[in-house]
């Protein structure tokens, strides 16, 4: 309500702002110089032999999550379960029985990168990696 | 120039995915380098206008008779077994006449019928109340009449359980996986916090197989297109008197019982 | 104005700290539920909604009842209520906040809550409930805040507030109507399948909310220098008197329809609640207590001699609040699920963590309520030159 331009409690405000800045940038300070090396993706013999995934490798790297979302909607909601890639190849859209069949264990193929990128998708809460079944 | 426009479209499309899910498939197609990838039905898939089931209860007299159907369903759908009955998950199970047909209870019902076990499962209603109440379309009715669950989308509000007049729905009160005796890798499990129920083996129909319970029923259960006059289910309904559960509610169950 | 909530007496700080402690316990229990699943609660396949949804239902009523002070003041120019509209509106804000939290803690997959907006489904009553509850929350925050600010600055409220105030009146009715529609449109749930469910909800709301507001007014008078006023309290008391009478009347209508028609689907739920079914009846003593409290309240409130005695009035308001809370917060939801559609009886009893989470949500509501009332009352005191 006051027109007085003087800043009240200057010291407290500035100290507060400093603490806030330190706290909010804490993750950067904390992790400084500790960057983990990017994991190296190893392809299974089967995947190597196939040469190409359902989409070009770059697209798969960048957009596999969107593709999987589309697959899941197509399978669950539209009852269309076969994917025809642009080169005419047909794939059953199935995380366990198609993706993992070619790419091997999810611990190697999925989790490594997801851990590195610090993302935790919940695919495997429901979908099963046969290699993990006792 | 052309390529930068293309990559712009690509980036724009992909960023839109976050909001409106612009399909990756379309983006790929817009590059115009090859045929557009597409998703199709398996040519072997079984199709119908309205799937329905006719259970001939004359051929299913005892719990022993029902066991193979219940067991196979539990096995291939990774149904967990909870000791705590509050958390039970049931897709297909047995009930007595008065529980399945409370509006048709008869005081002087034949003792045989009175204590006979009846197969109980989702009715795949023609006018499903569960679909009407779902706030996310996680449960929806397919064009072939199957009332499906999309476990990926369910928020676990359990409105559908309140709406179902048949008690056909179960909720995952906790992580079901430790309670599955033997994991079946051909079908996913569910996660805690979502609702589930019988889906008429949609995953089997998609590859040309009839529902598992029908397959092991030794002819006691018929499955087919209710809209097709020449189907086996319609023939059975022509030749026999069959009842449905709570028909007065107007839900139009697709499961019939010959008694 | 917010700064008024940051300064106060030791007692104020102590109360807020105590609430924060309760919220903390509730929050820890919620984290437990979040990781374990809703199996931590007493809910089951048969009784798939429990304490959370019941509290939500009850509190929607308390929220809607703000209209009982807003309507007479703004539509009928009943000046006396001008002193307490802000208390009604801020009570609504706190109640709706609790409602939204109760829905949230009831979800099996809370992180997917945005699916309701991502896949909007107008045929679901829950979709509309989301819209009306959030709308009502914002209406009351904006109207309450701006009117209070105008009062503080000694200027008339901005003109653009008028349409919002008028809108908030039918909106209040809508929140409880839509909440009743969640239940009363479900086939095969005989207990809820009644056209007077929404009117019943409104009647119990207009009893419970103003009763609670009377108690709050008395408390404000006791611990602050601001007096909401005797006339205001007495007018509210009349609202409570007739609303609780109508509520009991509606209930008796339900009993008549069920037991004169003798349709089992309708009688069995009432039997379960009031005499027990197949040997199960955890709610029987509660339901009778509720009925007795409500009838007692009618006697005390309709009679002018007892109503005008503020000590008796306070007791009657407690009776109304507790009675309607049992009716809606315990019986209404469980009663609809027992027996289940297959005529099996599975009873529901909330678990301790479930209660801790519920109390935590109530504490959030009281924290919001206290802070808002602190602001409102301090400004009233300033304006009236009491401090």
Domain spans in chain C, listed from the N-terminal domain onward: 2-249+352-383
Establish if C24 touches chain B: CB-CB under 8 angstroms. no
Q: Is residue C319 over pLDDT 80?
A: yes
Q: Is the pLDDT of residue B28 over 80?
A: no
CA B2/CA A118 separation, integer angstroms: 36
Q: Per mean pLDDT, which range of B71-80, B160-169, C72-81, C130-139 is the poorest?
A: C72-81
User: Min CA distance, B75 vs chain A (Å)?
Assistant: 15
Q: Region of C349 please: left (phi>0), alpha (psi -120 to 50) or beta.
A: beta
pLDDT for the residue numbered B30: 52
Instruction: Inspect the interface and report whether the beta carbons of A59 and B40 lie closer than 8 Å.
Output: no
Q: Return the minimum-mean-pLDDT range out of A31-45, B33-47, C174-188, C266-280.
A: A31-45
Residue in B14, B35, B206 nearest the CB of A79: B206
pLDDT higher than 90, residue B29: no
List phi, psi (to 5°) of C148: -65, -40
Please check whether residue A74 is in contact with residue A81, taking contact to mean a CB–CB distance below 8 angstroms: yes
User: What pLDDT, on the 0 to 100 scale, is given for residue B20?
Assistant: 46
Q: What is the rounded distance in angstroms from the CA atom of residue B219 to the CA atom of residue B238? A: 17
* A65-77 average pLDDT score: 93
Reading the block at residue B52, the tokens are 């329905």
Q: What is the sign of the dihedral through the CA atoms of C261, C263, C266 and C267?
A: positive
Any chain B CB within 8 A of the CB of C349? no
Beta carbons of B37 and A84 less than 8 Å apart:
yes
Yes or no, beta carbons of A62 and B40 under 8 Å apart: no
For residue C125, give Cα distances in angstroms to B111, C103, C128, C177: 43, 14, 5, 10
On whether any CB of chain C is under 8 Å from the CB of B163, the answer is yes
Q: Using an 8 Å Cβ cutoff, are B211 and C81 in contact? A: no
Q: How far apart are CA B12 and CA B38, in angstroms?
A: 21
Phi, psi (rounded to 5 degrees) for C367: -65, -45
Question: What pLDDT band is residue B2 in, cutting at 50, 70 and 90?
Answer: very low
- Determine if the peptide bond prior to C339 is cis (ω within 30°): yes
Neighbouring subunits of A (3+ Cβ pairs under 8 A): B
Closest residue of chain B to A130, computed from CA coordinates? B185
Using one digit for the tens of pLDDT, what is the confidence trace for B51-110?
999 999 999 999 999 999 999 999 999 999 999 999 999 999 999 999 999 878 767 888
Residue A106 has pLDDT above 90, yes or no: no
Instruction: Kindly report which listed range (A7-11, B2-6, C122-126, C232-236) carries the lowest average pLDDT score.
Output: B2-6
Sheet containing B221-225: which strands, arranged edge to edge? B221-225, B51-56, B255-258, B242-243
Banded model confidence at residue B34, pLDDT cuts 50, 70, 90: low
The domain spans of chain A are 45-132
pLDDT at A45: 86
pLDDT digits (tens, 9 = 90+) for C215-224: 999 999 999 9
Interface membership of B16 toward A (CB under 8 Å): no
- Tell me whether C104 touches chain B (CB under 8 Å): no
Among the listed residues B102, B147, B119, the one whose alpha carbon sits nearest the alpha carbon of residue B61: B119
If you average pLDDT over every residue of chain B, what do you get?
Answer: 88
Inter-chain touch B86–C45, beta carbons under 8 Å: yes
| Cα(B31)–Cα(B37) distance, integer angstroms | 12
Nearest CA-CA partner of A101 in A46, A56, A26:
A46
* Between residues C141 and A5, the one the model is more confident about: C141
Residue B156 backbone dihedrals phi, psi, to 5 degrees: 75, 35
Give the CATH fold of the C2-249+352-383 domain. Answer: Formate dehydrogenase/DMSO reductase fold (1.20.1630)
Partner-chain contact C187 B165, CB within 8 Å:
yes
* Domains of chain B, start order: 1-39 (no CATH), 51-258 (3.30.70.20)
């Amino acid at each position: 309500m006051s027109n007085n331009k003087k800043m009240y409690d200057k010291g407290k405000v500035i100290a507060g702002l400093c603490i806030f800045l330190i706290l909010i940038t804490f993750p950067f300070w904390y992790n400084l110089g500790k960057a983990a090396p990017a994991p190296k993706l190893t392809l299974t013999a089967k995947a190597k032999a196939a040469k190409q995934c359902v989409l070009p490798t770059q697209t798969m790297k960048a957009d596999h999550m969107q593709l999987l979302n589309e697959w899941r909607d197509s399978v669950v909601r539209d009852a269309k379960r076969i994917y025809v890639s642009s080169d005419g190849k047909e794939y059953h859209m199935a995380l366990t029985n198609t993706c993992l069949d070619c790419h091997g264990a999810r611990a190697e193929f999925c989790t490594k990168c997801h851990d590195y990128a610090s993302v935790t998708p919940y695919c495997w809460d429901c979908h099963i990696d046969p290699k993990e079944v006792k | 120039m052309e390529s930068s426009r293309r990559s712009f479209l690509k980036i724009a499309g992909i960023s839109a995915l976050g909001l409106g899910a612009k399909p990756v498939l379309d983006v790929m197609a817009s590059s115009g380098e090859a045929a557009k990838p597409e998703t199709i039905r398996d040519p072997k898939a079984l199709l119908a206008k309205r799937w329905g089931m006719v259970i001939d209860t004359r051929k299913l007299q005892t719990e022993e008779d029902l066991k193979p159907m219940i067991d196979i369903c539990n096995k291939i759908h990774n149904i967990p077994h909870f000791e705590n009955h509050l958390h039970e998950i049931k897709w297909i199970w047995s009930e007595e006449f008065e529980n399945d047909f409370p509006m048709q209870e008869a005081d002087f019902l034949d003792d045989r019928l009175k204590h006979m076990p009846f197969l109980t499962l989702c009715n795949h209603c023609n006018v499903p109340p569960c679909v009407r109440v779902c706030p996310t379309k996680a449960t929806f009715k397919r064009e072939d009449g199957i009332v499906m669950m999309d476990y990926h989308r369910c928020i676990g509000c359990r409105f559908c359980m309140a709406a179902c007049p048949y008690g056909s729905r179960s909720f995952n009160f906790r992580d079901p996986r430790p309670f599955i005796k033997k994991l079946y890798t051909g079908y996913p499990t569910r996660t805690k916090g979502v609702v589930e129920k019988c889906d008429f083996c949609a995953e089997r129909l998609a590859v040309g197989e009839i529902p598992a319970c029908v397959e092991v029923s030794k002819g006691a259960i018929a499955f087919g297109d209710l809209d097709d006059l020449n189907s086996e289910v319609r023939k059975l309904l022509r030749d026999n008197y069959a009842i449905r559960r709570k028909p007065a509610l107007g839900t139009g169950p697709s499961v019939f019982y010959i008694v | 104005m917010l700064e008024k909530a940051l300064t106060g007496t030791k007692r104020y700080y102590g109360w807020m700290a105590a609430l924060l402690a309760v919220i903390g316990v509730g929050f820890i229990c919620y984290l437990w539920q979040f990781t374990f699943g809703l199996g931590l609660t007493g809910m089951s396949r048969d009784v798939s909604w429990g304490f959370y949804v019941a509290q939500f239902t009850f509190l929607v009523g308390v929220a809607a009842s703000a209209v009982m002070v807003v309507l007479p003041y703004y539509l009928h120019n009943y000046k006396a209520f001008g002193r307490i509209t802000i208390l009604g509106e801020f009570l609504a804000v706190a109640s709706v906040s609790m409602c939204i939290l109760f829905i949230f803690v009831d979800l099996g997959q809370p992180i997917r809550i945005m699916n309701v907006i991502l896949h909007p489904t107008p045929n679901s009553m829950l979709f509309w409930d989301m819209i009306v509850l959030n709308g009502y929350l914002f209406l009351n925050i904006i109207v309450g805040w701006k009117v209070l600010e105008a009062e503080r600055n000694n200027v008339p409220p901005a003109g653009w507030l008028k349409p919002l105030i008028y809108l908030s009146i039918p909106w209040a009715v809508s929140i409880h109507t839509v909440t009743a529609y969640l239940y009363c449109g479900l086939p095969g749930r005989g207990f809820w399948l009644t056209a007077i469910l929404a009117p019943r909800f409104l009647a119990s709301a207009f009893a419970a909310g103003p009763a609670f507001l009377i108690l709050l007014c008395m408390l404000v008078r006791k611990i602050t220098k601001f007096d909401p006023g005797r006339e205001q309290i007495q007018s509210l008391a009349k609202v409570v008197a007739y609303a609780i009478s109508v509520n009991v009347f509606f209930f008796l209508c339900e009993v008549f329809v069920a037991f004169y028609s003798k349709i089992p689907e309708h009688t069995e739920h009432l039997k379960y609640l009031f005499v027990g079914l197949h040997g199960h009846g955890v709610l029987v003593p509660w339901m009778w207590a509720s009925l007795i409290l409500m009838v007692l309240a009618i006697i005390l409130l309709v009679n002018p001699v007892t109503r005008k005695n503020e000590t008796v009035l306070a007791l009657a308001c407690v009776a109304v609040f507790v009675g309607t809370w049992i009716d809606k917060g315990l019986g209404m939801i469980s009663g609809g699920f027992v027996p289940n559609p297959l005529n099996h009886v599975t009873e529901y009893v909330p678990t301790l963590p479930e209660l801790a989470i519920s109390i935590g949500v109530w504490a959030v509501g009281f924290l919001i309520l206290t802070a808002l009332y602190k602001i409102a009352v301090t400004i009233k005191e300033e304006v009236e030159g009491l401090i």
